[in-house]
Structure 1
């Protein structure tokens, strides 16, 4: 049974801006599943709605990421309270992280969090992300760490989550997983693709057993300009149209 087929379409019932955000976020969920970054129904991707009301879109708790559609996404306030009629709950515990970051970073439009094996493995290493690949240089140029405090269900952890992230893009949650932020959904996705790749490469390189060659610090300091050149100054927007085409080919139905 296709559970999402029972959800009425919100197209035409929300603003054009909100509908486009819903489509992009649903596509992001499908792509996360397609790339193997999902963790059953757990973890979250949230996107801030336009305006000053501090409202966000987040996944309906209980759906697999490859089931999520634009209309099934849930609109919530900064406390995670549902602002629309939906049969699905919101994972209040998971939203502790997202609401904290959105509140502290008005420049952030999307927060993407994963529990991949490579990401958790690197987060558990004392040295964290190592400067051993081109991908890692982009991460290290804007990386923060947060020590593990148990499952993120306590509001009192939020100030520490905010302070540790600061103004960074890549966030390594120790013994937990990876998180990226972006001005747009596309920016957060591209950052996570880079972060996850760096972690997979690191685990593979370490498994080889040979001595690793580090990248010079001066190169890492210049990577922001390199990324700008590589994407024509567009960031995630440069690759997002191609990702949407891939999503429509390989995991269609997200824009319902």
Structure 2
């Protein structure tokens, strides 16, 4: 694995960008820790603070549990490198992410997975079912995008943008899951809820019994409920604890 000094990178970026790099590297490590990675084949992108449309994305070919703050690659909207790096990038992998960042100013982070449960639910015609408390948070801001093949073509981007709209949870049919967050922590916590929603659904359907669904009236007030549950802190209620979890096992994500 090619390496680059964290000191070299840190000296070339703003304190805000370095803090974002640490958070994004932590997110990659957490995705690996929770078993959501697909070898090297999915991506988490984060927009760097400032007026420029500059982003951080994973170096192509590294496992998620290898990624560090300094190894993340800085790119523009077209996935061209903006900071010297020994690591390759995968422009095709940025196809989905770039078009979401382009139309969603609130999209500080876009997290995409190909988990077993997520892909399984994405193939079910009924989609996400209102059968768990977790699902109520997802259903309050959920969209679907039909499968058009491996996401390599730019002409798919307008349809993906249209289908996502202002939702923060996206089921990519026959493909996987995607979350949008104002920051890394928010996108991660959303995916944690999304993934558990799908796992619960697969388990419940496999039991063979009739299912009890949540009253639709409950869904309308979930934004307020989320604020109450997190004491107004949003994803920050859990993110520091997740970082402490990483620090106890392997703090090298900060390098």
TM class by smaller structure:
over 0.9
State the alpha-carbon separation in 2 of the partners of residues 254 and 241 from structure 1: 15
Give deviations 1:135-174, integer Å, cap 9, x for gaps.
Answer: 0000000000000000000000000110000000100000
Cα pair 1:181 1:188 within 8 Å, conserved: yes
**1:13 deviation in Å?**
2.6
The yes-or-no answer on 1:170 pairing with 2:172 is no
The yes-or-no answer on 1:45 pairing with 2:73 is no
Cα pair 1:66 1:251 within 8 Å, conserved: no
2:121 counterpart residue number: 122
Structure 1 runs (4+) greater than 2 angstroms displaced? none
State the alpha-carbon separation in 2 of the partners of residues 11 and 116 from structure 1: 33
1:218 counterpart residue number: 217
TM-score by length of 2: 0.98
What SS class does the counterpart of residue 172 from structure 1 fall into?
Answer: strand
2:143 counterpart residue number: 144
What SS class does the counterpart of residue 254 from structure 1 fall into?
Answer: helix
State the alpha-carbon separation in 2 of the partners of residues 40 and 135 from structure 1: 27
**1:60 deviation in Å?**
0.2
Cα pair 2:4 2:86 within 8 Å, conserved: no
TM-score by length of 1: 0.97
**1:225 deviation in Å?**
1.1
Q: How does 1:24-43 map to 2 (within 5 A)?
A: 24-43=23-42
- Unpaired runs of 5+ residues, structure 2, are none
**1:11 deviation in Å?**
2.2
State the alpha-carbon separation in 1 of the partners of residues 236 and 27 from structure 2: 13
1:134 counterpart residue number: 133
Q: CA RMSD in A?
A: 0.8
2:56 counterpart residue number: 57
The yes-or-no answer on 1:205 pairing with 2:240 is no
2:5 counterpart residue number: 8
Cα pair 1:30 1:251 within 8 Å, conserved: no
State the alpha-carbon separation in 2 of the partners of residues 13 and 157 from structure 1: 35
State the alpha-carbon separation in 2 of the partners of residues 106 and 251 from structure 1: 33
Cα pair 1:102 1:108 within 8 Å, conserved: yes
Give deviations 1:39-61, integer Å, cap 9, x for gaps.
Answer: 00010000000111100000000
